[in-house]
Amino acid sequence: MASTAAVVPKSSPLLTNPSHSDQESATAEHVEMDDSALQTVDALLRSRATTYPNLPIVSYPKSGVDYVDYTYQQLDVFAYRVARHLESSIPTRTTSAQKRTTVALLGPSNLEYLVTLLALFKAGHTVLFLSIRIPPPAIEALIEATGTSFLIADPRYVETALAVEKVKPGLRVLDMPTRDVFEFPVSVHVDTQLDAALDVKVETNEIVYIIHSSGSTGVPKAIYQKQSAALSNFSVHPDMKAFITLPLYHNHGICNFFRAVWSRKQIHLFNADLPLTSDALVSVMRSYSFEIFYGVPYALKLLAESDEGMKILAALKVVMYGGSACPDDLGNLLVDNGVNLVSHYGATEVGQLMTSFRPAGDKAWNYVRENDKLAPFLFWLPQGPGLFECCVKQGWPAKTATNMDDGSYRTKDLFEPHPTIPRAWKYIARQDDTIVLVNGEKFNPVVTEGKIRSSRLVTEAVVFGAQQPYLGLLVIPSPATAGWSPEQIIDEIWAVVDATQAENDAFAQLSKEMCVILPHDVAYPTTDKGSIIRQAFYKKFAREMETAYTNSNASNEHAQVMSEEQLREFLRGLLSKASAGAQGSVEFDDDTNFFALGVDSLRAIQIRAELLKSVKTARKLTQNVVFEHPSVRELSAYLLGAGDVETEDIEAEMRELVKKYSNFKSEVQDAPKNLGQNDGGFVLVTGSTGSLGAHLVAKLVRDNSIERVYCLVRASDSDIAAKRTTESMTQRKVYDGLSPEERKKIISLPCDLSRADLGLEKLIYQEVCSGLRAVIHSAWPVNFNIKLSTFEDSLAGVKNLINLCQQASSSSNTTPSFNFCSSVSAVVRHPDAEGPVPEAEPRPEWAQGMGYAQSKSVAEAICARAGETSGVPVRVLRIGQIVADTEHGVWNATEGVVMCMQTALTVGALPKLQEEPSWLPVDVVAQGVSEISLSGAGSLFANVANHRLFSWTNDLLPALRGAGLKFEEVEPKEWIRRLRESNPDPVANPPIRLVDFFATKYDKESFAPSKRYVTENARSLSQALADPPLLDQEFVNKFVGQFLSGPWKT
């Protein structure tokens, strides 16, 4: 339980200033003040300290969740000590004729922060509360606008403060007073009044503090609070013992603290040095008795995720949220579980106006109510069907601003009335379109939307993201984009988007993954003047927005498989960047708690976004994943699944799937047969719409022993299937060179591999079986972030294709082979200590921790069982890195390796990497797969990787220079630095899109060795793989020439 013991410093003078020590030891005479006579905030504190000196009023942890109670007298004396401590730097006012000094506070909402703000009130100064999340330019603007003379900063924010001081010569930065300045025993109460010489009639109309808007429409706006208005606001209170997680520099936080002071009800402040997690919240609320909880909806969401958290909330008299709107689904869940959820509505300019306190049985938690005191000062302006703007009349005591001729204030907040409850209103949106994210951050999208809309390719742009962790963008393209793919449109407009959001806060950044392209001719709601009706627009495209957030957790094509050390290095880089933003350069190790580095909930969300973008993992990355695993060591272990029960569950699931799809009954006739090498003239290929599949088909149709190549394609009919195959082969430049006879061999069929009949008509199935020689299965869903179970249809396809081979064997004297094109991702975790990766069935734990790799591993194991029991020769062809073809040099320009090489042009430098790649050209891989598939070999595993390695730095870089590229060779870290500083326009400089991806691999000093593979089986069965081409100048010339004439053309 909490104690009232105070910490005594090593030197223990009663006061910081020895000349005042006699005042604290003497008994002071005070006259108890009537609350109606209170004129200043400091007078409120002194009044309570005189009347109730030993009553605990605020509790703050000495560490963790170990709270210490502080009485009114302690709080008042602590503030007095700090005021005296600051006197030498910020003189106390001695007359009301003196201009008030404005002092800014920058730091976390801890005990030192609280005592300092009380001290400044006591000395007669005005306090500017600065959010720790706004950037230095915003701080500078607020300092300028408010005439601030001093900036008191917590040690974690001194570097930021000093940076502001450099551009504001009149500003002086001071350190936040530490506990040894104020926290030592109080002998008796003293006269702590420092403003006795001031005229209270003047002071009550002076500005006591300044908060600021979010800056969503530009520079944050200073909002001024008078002493009288503040006291009026504080006097409206719930009269309950409270726990609050809102920071004191937010209006809701500071107001609720002083409401506690006014009502004499103790308040516990959440530890500012702890992350906001479910465990931390439950620990506090389990240990102490509260009546009311104040928090943002995000805190409620965390508590609602556990049974204990829900029970704790239900046991409170009131749960009140602020900072942003609570999603209806969450609020309804809480109320349905017995939580007395209360919303409140207010604004800095008018104070708190309404709450949803309501009678028992009334579940309309999201409708705030007018009371009799407020009703005469409210009026509602109609703003559309069923929507009304809240307006406050002149005379309301807490009103501090006016924006109407009659002295009233229009809040620009829109509400809808309850259908049956009088004077009950549900908040809908800001009239000025501000979007409030789930963590309370606010962003007005109008300027950003207008700039994006200025592009000739954009008809309309609408930002969305209310009550979400990050923003998204809906785009209606102009008719000029007709026929373009969404990807093309996004690529073309993104330079405008990036330029537009360059000055936006970190929480307001847009990403390509959250950009939704709507049809250019789609109908959407507009006013008579042609502007969008925002809320109606959101409603119309609600499904598209929801899908965008769902897909934002899907795979990223540039995400990479990382070893434990690579992942730790990547996380260290993210932490360095995140902590530098708050505190400058900070030293830490793999066990340092993220929160200790200044990583707050916003930075945690940003780190999660980087993980989703750059790291291949099967883990579900919850919004709170960074704080759930709050160190480099813990987070890397979680992402890799090291020693985790979930990993064991996945491996068990893998084994169950192997068992489920390995039930093969031999249907091969007893008569002697030629296994795999037969007189059949048909080969069936899947994946012909991909690069490898297209080259496979081209190789096979040129073989005189092959009569037909059946291409199974996901399509609605044969015409579409044929079109997709032809387009794929044409794109890879392997179709035009085929003779008419060779083209006739290609027969494309629509299919569904998950069905036992493969989705083929019965007669076609039988026809395929009649002359089948081999099945080459190269099709597989490429999605690196979906679960293993999602690949079950694909695993069923493996079994169904093997069954096809069995059926073909039953109807002929030959047995076709089944050849599965797997991936090295199935063995990426093979221990280096065991030597090169063998050509053998993999262990489940060798697969990278993602559904894609796990499904490939399961498929390999199914093939191994089929090879033993089905009577069909089953080969697993485990394929490594595929690059450009040797004839034309065609290579996907968006692959990471290609974009790395492109920096020779856009940055003028390439990294000197310590890598030995095992690249294989796609046509060589296709030839190797064809040779193995048409061989007479039995069941086996083969690693299709180049056994001839080359040096990136010693071989590739000179060859690139020989191909005409001019660049400087630099160390990897230097290359990353130059790339970061290069042209930010991704149209002119495509590699800039992957700067963070490259940084995860190369922004470090040491590198893991390249993976090695045994290739004996592959080389013995394929001449192409036994004698693969070396990386030479001719090959490099081809793919560089291809790029320079196409995607790299300037």
For 651-700, strand residue ranges (E) read 674-675, 682-686
- Residue 324: pLDDT band (50, 70, 90) is low
Distance (Å, whole) CA 467 – CA 434: 12
What local confidence, expressed as pLDDT, does residue 647 receive? 53
- In this predicted structure, the answer to whether residue 430 has a pLDDT above a threshold of 80 is no
- In this predicted structure, the answer to whether residue 111 has a pLDDT above a threshold of 90 is yes
Q: Which of 18-22, 55-59, 245-249, 983-987 has the lowest mean pLDDT?
A: 18-22
- Residue 799: pLDDT band (50, 70, 90) is very high
Q: Which of 157-161, 845-849, 1021-1025 has the lowest mean pLDDT?
A: 845-849
List, for residues 624-638, the tens digit of each pLDDT value. 788 777 788 889 888
Report percent pLDDT > 90 for the chain: 57
List, for residues 333-379, the tens digit of each pLDDT value. 999 999 999 998 888 788 889 999 999 889 999 999 999 999 999 99
For 360-440, strand residue ranges (E) read 367-369, 378-382, 388-392, 409-417, 424-430, 435-436
- In this predicted structure, the answer to whether residue 102 has a pLDDT above a threshold of 80 is yes
Tokens (6 digits) for 104? 């800014």
Q: Which of 56-60, 79-83, 222-226, 1014-1018 has the lowest mean pLDDT?
A: 222-226
- Report CA dihedral (9, 11, 13, 15) to the nearest 10 degrees: -50
What local confidence, expressed as pLDDT, does residue 587 receive? 77
List, for residues 873-891, the tens digit of each pLDDT value. 999 999 998 999 999 999 8
Distance (Å, whole) CA 793 – CA 407: 68
Q: Within a 10 A sphere around the Cβ of 201, how many other Cβ atoms? A: 9
- In this predicted structure, the answer to whether residue 939 has a pLDDT above a threshold of 50 is yes
Higher pLDDT, residue 141 or 468: 141
What local confidence, expressed as pLDDT, does residue 432 receive? 63
If you average pLDDT over residues 685-699, what whole number do you get? 95
Which residues, 6 or more positions from 461, have their beta carbon under 8 angstroms from its beta carbon?
448, 449, 452, 453, 473, 474, 475, 476
Distance (Å, whole) CA 858 – CA 799: 12
List, for residues 585-615, the tens digit of each pLDDT value. 567 888 887 766 777 655 776 688 788 878 8
What local confidence, expressed as pLDDT, does residue 214 receive? 64
Three-state SS at 244: strand
Query: DSSP code of 37?
Result: G
List, for residues 522-569, the tens digit of each pLDDT value. 998 875 445 677 877 888 999 899 888 877 655 455 678 888 888 999
H-state helical runs in 370-485: 446-453
Let me know if 311 is exposed, middle or buried by CB neighbors in 10 A (0-12, 13-18, 19+). Answer: middle
- In this predicted structure, the answer to whether residue 905 has a pLDDT above a threshold of 90 is yes
- Residue 786: pLDDT band (50, 70, 90) is low
- In this predicted structure, the answer to whether residue 33 has a pLDDT above a threshold of 50 is no
- In this predicted structure, the answer to whether residue 16 has a pLDDT above a threshold of 50 is no
What local confidence, expressed as pLDDT, does residue 648 receive? 57
- In this predicted structure, the answer to whether residue 1041 has a pLDDT above a threshold of 80 is yes
If you average pLDDT over residues 1036-1046, what whole number do you get? 91
CA angle 281, 157, 218 (to 5 degrees): 90
- Mean pLDDT, all residues of the chain: 86
What local confidence, expressed as pLDDT, does residue 25 receive? 32
List, for residues 1014-1030, the tens digit of each pLDDT value. 999 999 999 999 999 98
- Domains in the chain, start-ordered, CATH in brackets? 73-227 (3.40.50.980), 235-342 (3.40.50.980), 357-444 (no CATH), 445-551 (3.30.300.30), 564-643 (1.10.1200.10), 888-927+936-1050 (3.40.50.720)
- Report CA dihedral (915, 616, 848, 660) to the nearest 10 degrees: -150
Amino acid type, 195 = D
If you average pLDDT over residues 679-687, what whole number do you get? 89
Looking only at the bridges linking them, the beta strands covering 351-355 and 344-347 are antiparallel
Higher pLDDT, residue 105 or 531: 105
Q: Compute CA 790 distance to the chain's CA centroid, rounded to the nearest angstrom.
A: 23
- In this predicted structure, the answer to whether residue 849 has a pLDDT above a threshold of 80 is no
CB of 415 closer than 8 Å to CB of 379? no
H-state helical runs in 271-352: 278-287, 297-304, 307-315, 328-336
Which is nearest to 658 in space by CA: 504, 847, 402? 847
- Residue 675: pLDDT band (50, 70, 90) is very low
- In this predicted structure, the answer to whether residue 436 has a pLDDT above a threshold of 50 is yes
What local confidence, expressed as pLDDT, does residue 112 receive? 98
If you average pLDDT over residues 831-841, what whole number do you get? 91
Rounded to two decimals, the pTM is 0.49
Which is nearest to 759 in space by CA: 718, 814, 812, 729? 718
What local confidence, expressed as pLDDT, does residue 661 receive? 96
Let me know if 31 is exposed, middle or buried by CB neighbors in 10 A (0-12, 13-18, 19+). Answer: exposed
Handedness of CA 138, 142, 148, 153 (dihedral sign): negative
- Residue 236: pLDDT band (50, 70, 90) is confident
Higher pLDDT, residue 531 or 622: 622
Which is nearest to 122 in space by CA: 187, 61, 177, 175? 177
- Residue 763: pLDDT band (50, 70, 90) is very high
